[in-house]
Amino acid sequence: AAPKNDPAVEAAAGQVVETCLSVLSGYELERREGLHAIRAMRSAVHGFVALENAGGFGIPLDVDKSFDWLVSALLKGLGASRPQRSP
């Protein structure tokens, strides 16, 4: 987490959030839902990286494939949350 009350850091963080929302625009999420999606993805990736750095994945299984699986599952979840269009 970035230090609070630092205008430069807050501005940069805002730009990162806006970039992420732009990347997610294809999922047609409302802004609030997009922000929830960004939090979920950040939390999942941060947790994965923290566990990997701490040696938390002891099972002899390809960690990169596990990470790919995580990202794929997140993207499928985003796809399932798209607004349904009327025919």
9-32, pLDDT tens digit by residue? 999 999 999 999 999 999 999 999
**pLDDT < 50 regions, the chain:** none
Which residues, including other chains, have CB under 8 Å from residue 7's CB and lie 6 or more apart?
A: none
Q: How many CB atoms lie within 10 A of CB 29?
A: 19
Q: What is the pLDDT of residue 86?
A: 57
Reported residue count of the chain is 87
When the candidates are 3.40.50.1820, 1.10.10.10, 1.10.357.10, 3.40.50.720, the CATH number that belongs to 7-80 is 1.10.357.10
Q: Where are the domains of the chain?
A: 7-80
The tokens of 82 are what?
């798209």
Helices (H), 1-87: 7-23, 31-53, 63-80
pTM of the model: 0.82
Q: Sign of the CA dihedral 19, 20, 24, 25?
A: negative
Q: What is the pLDDT of residue 77?
A: 92
